[in-house]
Amino acid sequence: MDLEFSPQDQAFRTEVRSWMRANVPPKAGPEIGLPSHLETQSAWERKLGKKGWLAYNWPTEFGGPGWSATQRYIFDTERAAAGAPPSSPFGLSMLGPVLMAYGTPEQQAKYLPKIAGGEEFWCQGYSEPGSGSDLASLKTQAVLDGDHYVVNGQKIWTTQAHWASNMFCLCRTNNDVPKQQGISFLLIDMESPGLEIRPIMTIDGHHHLNEIFFTDVRVPVENLVGKEGEGWTIAKFLLSHERTAIAGIADSLYQMSQLRTAISADDSLNEDPLVRRRMAALEVDLMALEYTNLRTLDRAAKGKEPGPESSGLKVKGAEMQQAISEAQVEFGGLTSLAWQSEHEGGHDLFRQATTRYNFLRASSIYGGTNEIQKNVLAKILLSGV
């Protein structure tokens, strides 16, 4: 039992910290920690890409730095602590690992370098109007026609589709088998004729989400990943990567430290014993989450499969982000009420608190709702005698 990072890991932390200090723009975006502006996000990701640190979770053979799980965690906490936004996960944490496991050498060569370099954004074509939690019921059709699939249907809640050059998409290629077995995983160029993007504005007042309409969109067969009908297996593989990546612990640590700073600048908050107690309660919850995460990293470092403790991380991670953000809004009081205003006054954190709070309602919805996570976990817990 040892809670300290090794000297090598500490040296690594120092290296990352000093690079972040020198390279993170003073304000990485108007809403700190939220990717909502293409230019700032894109410039930041390219900068990381140039350094070789954008695809920080990738092995060296595919252009990543080949870091250990512990190093990745350190990198992510230092990234967040420097006030930089998380990178867009669709290419890096979702498609990347899928192509490494299921892609052809051609697909890997064509797409992976651009993702690692921050040159292209991807989006995820999963949810449909009638298929949310019950994803396997999806209806978007892909019908083989010579050397193309012809895609018809609709996707929804597609984050950053308006930034993306490509989409990875689940489509139905067979209606005559059980629903999970008739799904295929296609890569679709967003410039394809017949593909239409409509924005969906969200309660944080920003444009993250979209609806996508496919009308006879032709997709070359070489854009099929894995075999036809293997889409559901790939989707599950992808989700297992997504769930550990989106607990958002590094960002929660950063948001707590920001909140602490904002409170200490305001005597009426700073001297309120109930505010102190609520902050301590958040801090304790965050510690429990952080050490649970460290346990999973330790297992990974020893080459073991994730233990059951990792399954709850997404659920608790989402609740944590929401709880910190809720405190930010409430402690911000009237300062938090100015809406989409450029005016100065009050602490930055409090002025942006409602935007973040509204945005983070999605954290317990995307990547499989917390209720779906619990279904999955219940199945594991209740299996066996």
Partner 1 sequence: MDFSYSSEQELLLDSAKKFALKAYGFERYQATLKLRGQLDPEIWKQLADFGWLALPLPESAGGLEGGASDVSLVAEALGAGMVLEPYISGLILPGKLLSMAADEIQQKRLLEPLAEGNLQLAVAWAEPGDRQNPAHCATQARADSSDYLISGEKLCVLNAPNAQRLIVSARVSGRTGETQGLCLFEIDPGASGVTLTPYAVMGGGTAADIAFDQVRVPADALLGKAGDGFDALDAALDHATVAACAQALGAMSALLERTRSYLKVRKQFGTTIDSFQVLQHRLVDMFIEIEQSRSMVLMAGVRVDSVDPGARRHAVSATKAYLNQASKFVAQQAVQLHGGIGVTEELDVGHFFRQLTAFGNLYGDRERHLDRVASQPRAS
Instruction: Report the interface residues with partner 1, using CB under 8 A.
Output: 1-6, 9, 70, 273, 276-277, 279-281, 283-285, 287-289, 291-292, 294-295, 297-299, 301-302, 308-309, 312, 315-316, 371, 374-375, 377-378, 381-382, 385
Q: How far apart are CA 257 and CA 234, in angstroms?
A: 38
SS3 of residue 142 by DSSP: strand
Quick one: 100 or 323, whose CB is closer to partner 1?
323
Note whether 186 and 229 are within 8 A (CB): no
Burial of 369 (C-beta count, 10 Å sphere; 0-12/13-18/19+): middle
Please, what is the minimum distance in Å from the beta carbon of residue 127 to partner 1?
A: 21
Q: How far apart are CA 143 and CA 339, in angstroms?
A: 47
Quick one: 224 or 315, whose CB is closer to partner 1?
315
The residues annotated as belonging to the active site are 242
Q: How far apart are CA 143 and CA 184, in angstroms?
A: 11
Quick one: 197 or 275, whose CB is closer to partner 1?
275
Residue carrying the six token digits 């026609």: 145
SS3 of residue 195 by DSSP: strand
Please, what is the minimum distance in Å from the beta carbon of residue 285 to partner 1?
A: 7
Q: Which two tokens stand for residue 107?
A: 């697909």
Quick one: 203 or 284, whose CB is closer to partner 1?
284
Please, what is the minimum distance in Å from the beta carbon of residue 342 to partner 1?
A: 33
Q: How far apart are CA 331 and CA 52, in angstroms?
A: 39
Closest to 329 (Cα-Cα) out of 349, 345, 300:
349
Please, what is the minimum distance in Å from the beta carbon of residue 289 to partner 1?
A: 7
Note whether 159 and 90 are within 8 A (CB): yes
Quick one: 198 or 276, whose CB is closer to partner 1?
276
How big is the chain by its Cα radius of gyration, in Å? 21
Please, what is the minimum distance in Å from the beta carbon of residue 219 to partner 1?
A: 37
